[in-house]
Structure 1
Amino acid sequence: MNAAQADQMRKGAGFIAALDQSGGSTPKALKLYGVMEDAYGSEDEMFDMIHAMRARIIKSPAFTGEKVVGAILFEQTMDREIDGIPTATYLWEKRGVVPFLKIDKGLEAEEGGVQLMKPIPGLDDLLSKAVKAGIFGTKERSVISAANPEGIARVVAQQFALGKQVLSHGLVPIIEPEVTISIADKAEAEEILLAEILKALDEIPAETPVMLKLSLPTKPNHYKPLVDHPKVMKVVALSGGYSRDEANAMLAQNTGMIASFSRALTEGLTAQQDDGAFDVVLEKTVGEIHAASVAG
């Protein structure tokens, strides 16, 4: 584990940018950025365009470790370069931003009110590649759509089993059991989830802390026991479909949680903006998300 990066994640006053849209979500992300599907003729061209968008964000004067302490990358982004420098290296050495890698390969069909992660073929090889690329940690997402104790227990068990595999490579896992924000029993699901995570943390060695990425809770500071837990390096919040203003307002009520927003980060940015206009919008966005992240 990179000691300087670990120190930044523990103490840094800022948020984690989620720049990890994968194949299925890329067309939507590009459309929101003002790039329609008829602008590219192949999957390769689509990924070239999303990389150009991410590189533009990363190179913006607003995107530095002063307010953006970390960034989550898609595997193809890790494999690519910015100005001739591998992306993870560029993030840390040029911007002071800690690089993470999204490793999940999507979700299984819903069963028992939850969606487990699909199998991840070749995971050990991917984790070894990530270490060589200078990646600090990983992110892996499951979804909870009902307050079903058995289902939530399965999600947490799978997440922590995978987390232990990540830890064995010297990487820090961001464990992400997302609770769908629109369900009627969201608060009940969050109660069950907190209890299951606290039990799972008992099995994690004290010298190998994990991170957690959780939906903004219905009850402010619901996850404070995790924020204060000695085996948790950081608790970060996903926007989960809330607008940026809503997400920022909710986040500011949760002491010690920081943001890890994706769509809410890129909201208002378009390919048609010149660099000056683009940087102004991103600077305002970064400032607002940063303020919400440190407010607690």
Structure 2
Amino acid sequence: MTDAALDFRCSLASAVAREPLVGSAPADAIWLLVEAAMPWGRQALAESRLPAEVRERLLGLDGVRVQLIRRHGAESSAGSTVFAATATADGFAVEGTRVPDHAALLDLPLADLVAGRGLGLPPIGGPMWLVCTNGRRDRCCAELGRPVTAALAARWPEATWETTHLGGHRFATTLLALPSGATLGRLDPASAIDACAALVDGELGLGLLRGRAGLPGAAQAAEVALREQLGLRSLGGVTVDSADDGVVVLSVAAPGARRTFRVAVAERAGAPARLSCADVVAKPTPTFAVTTIGEQAEP
């Protein structure tokens, strides 16, 4: 590998190019988070040191995004914390428990999770901060993500987790907040503290927002644009009713009423970019342009 390739940082290139963040949050509606305080490979779950039977079962969970998580600086210990998160109208329902070992994951009703019914575990009110730090997947995630995780863990030790992959290495540092689903990018330690403190207070900053996880990219872009137009900063209160053929219908809770908006979103090919530090060839990236926002009259 050449010196130029070793020096390349996809996150710096993306920031310099002013690549839009909006619409890039993961669209997965069902998540399984498994504590694994062990080294992570590039394909973290497939290459993990989990028992083979457990690993294969988790890899086979259709429609479930499985993430490995660990505490910042943690070493291996007995037992594992597991969380499940299922998308709701305005965020995620999060549940969790601690199991004695990874083999006990096979005793959980994983088929129910696949079906969207959750695992029946105790509810978790949050907050949870999941920060991508997997340097084997992309060096930016480790170099930028670990200082952010350290800062968050000093402030919210129980809420903060490192995780394996949130997509969009070039937006490092990336963070998924639960239960809101707010997905943030280009964080540094100071902006991460500010953004998470705002979320704790029920406020959603839009400047570093990639979108709300669990929604398709067009719906993420529509929600952000509507929030910007209406000056909506409170968590919740905005739901996506439908997203079809480039039109997203959203509802906004208002005192004594509900307002409905139709947002037209065009998906376009963005400028080619190297999506990861290890990429040699630039690839087109999708971007979302909101063309119109109109309020529907209530019947």
Return the structure number with greater strand share: 2
Structure 1 and Structure 2 fold alike (TM over 0.5) = no
TM-score of the superposition, structure 2-length normalised?
Answer: 0.29
Larger-Rg structure: 2
